């Protein structure tokens, strides 16, 4: 697979995506000079039409919101990991025309945690209940031996998280967002909320916090992550997740393993410093 091949990230909005930086860094390190990786603004309505334009030179696609579920009818097969949360963020376009989907967010979360020495936890807390939270639940199902508390801001979200917990077979307790400060005392806190939502919680960080996984990477650090780090707690960032899930994408799309984790991380860090 050293010839001219194409890959890209799709989503809406997409201009902020760091995926091109990470994947291009991997191609350079792997000596894949003929490979290109672009970004395309594609929403749910335009996705089927975009797929119709894909020729044999295409190797794969990365998908971000709002396409992770919209893509499912367009695929020939999806992995068990993707099926567990009905969400695909990686499409591999095979030479025989097959389109297969996977979810690298889930193992990416696990890998990022393990890189920071977190292989197992007795309990955990999740802040938020959006699409990323379902992937976080699936990842925690692999490392958490006890109950997971999910703090939500609406009853609709609470019902959705109960459904995911039942489907994934994980013990989950739903708690109101008004009690989110209590989550900060968990052995592992995973924040899946948009920018600014957890800023008010920064003042409630305990004197000796344990571990925080904040899935944001821009702007960074968040107020919560900055306070957490200042108090001596371990912080895993959204860039850690982005890099680890991208490593798996590169390996699947190129057939080359291992992907250059360090080179990809450094490229991402450089890109963020100039934003």
Please give the domain boundaries of the chain with CATH numbers for all domains: 5-103+246-273 (3.40.50.10860), 107-236 (3.40.50.720)
Cβ atoms 101, 73 nearer than 8 A: no
Q: How confident is the model at residue 1 (pLDDT cuts 50, 70, 90)?
A: very low
Summarised one tens digit per residue, pLDDT across range 7-39 is: 999 999 999 999 999 999 999 999 999 999 999
Torsion angle, CA of 262/131/97/26, rounded to 10 degrees? -10
Distance CA 264, CA 261 (A): 5
Query: Is residue 202 classed exposed, middle or buried when 0-12, 13-18 and 19+ CB atoms within 10 A define those classes?
Result: middle
The residue from 6, 24, 68, 265 that is catalytic is 68
Summarised one tens digit per residue, pLDDT across range 241-257 is: 999 999 999 999 999 99
The per-residue pLDDT for 105 is: 97
How many Cα atoms within 13 Å fall on the side-chain side of residue 133?
28
Is 266 one of the catalytic residues? no
Q: How confident is the model at residue 201 (pLDDT cuts 50, 70, 90)?
A: very high
Q: How confident is the model at residue 222 (pLDDT cuts 50, 70, 90)?
A: very high
Distance CA 89, CA 32 (A): 23
**DSSP 8-state assignment for residue 256:** -
Summarised one tens digit per residue, pLDDT across range 39-53 is: 999 999 999 999 999
pLDDT of residue 275 exceeding 80, the answer is no
pLDDT of residue 221 exceeding 80, the answer is yes
Distance CA 177, CA 133 (A): 14
Q: Tell me the residue ranges of DSSP E strands in 89-230.
A: 90-93, 99-102, 124-127, 148-152, 172-176, 188-191, 211-214
b/e 65-104 (16+ beta carbons within 10 angstroms → b) = bebbebbeebbeebbebbebbebbbbbbbeeeeebbbbbb
The per-residue pLDDT for 130 is: 83
Q: Provide the mean pLDDT of the chain.
A: 96
């Amino acid at each position: 697979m050293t010839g001219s091949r194409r890959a890209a990230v799709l989503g809406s909005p997409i201009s902020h995506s760091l995926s091109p930086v990470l994947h291009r860094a991997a191609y350079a390190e792997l000596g894949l000079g003929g490979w290109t990786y672009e970004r395309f603004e594609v929403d749910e309505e335009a996705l089927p039409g975009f797929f119709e334009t894909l020729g044999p030179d295409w190797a794969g696609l990365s998908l971000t919101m709002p396409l992770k579920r919209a893509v499912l009818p367009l695929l020939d097969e999806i992995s068990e990991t993707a099926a567990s949360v009905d969400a695909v963020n990686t499409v591999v376009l095979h030479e025989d025309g097959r389109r297969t989907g996977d979810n690298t967010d889930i193992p990416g979360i696990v890998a990022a945690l393990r890189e920071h020495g977190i292989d197992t936890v007795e309990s955990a807390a999740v802040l938020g209940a959006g699409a990323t939270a379902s992937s976080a639940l699936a990842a925690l199902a692999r490392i958490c031996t006890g109950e997971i508390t999910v703090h939500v801001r609406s009853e609709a979200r609470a019902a959705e998280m109960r459904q995911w917990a039942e489907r994934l077979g994980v013990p989950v307790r739903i708690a109101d967002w008004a009690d989110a400060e209590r989550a900060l005392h968990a052995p592992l806190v995973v924040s899946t909320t948009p920018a600014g939502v957890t800023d008010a919680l920064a003042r409630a960080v305990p004197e000796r916090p344990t571990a925080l996984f904040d899935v944001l990477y821009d702007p960074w650090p968040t107020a919560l992550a900055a306070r957490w780090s200042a108090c001596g707690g371990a912080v895993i960032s959204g860039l850690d997740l982005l890099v680890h899930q991208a490593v798996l994408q590169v390996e699947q799309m190129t057939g080359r393993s291992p992907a250059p984790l360090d080179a990809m991380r450094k490229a991402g860090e450089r890109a963020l410093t100039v934003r």
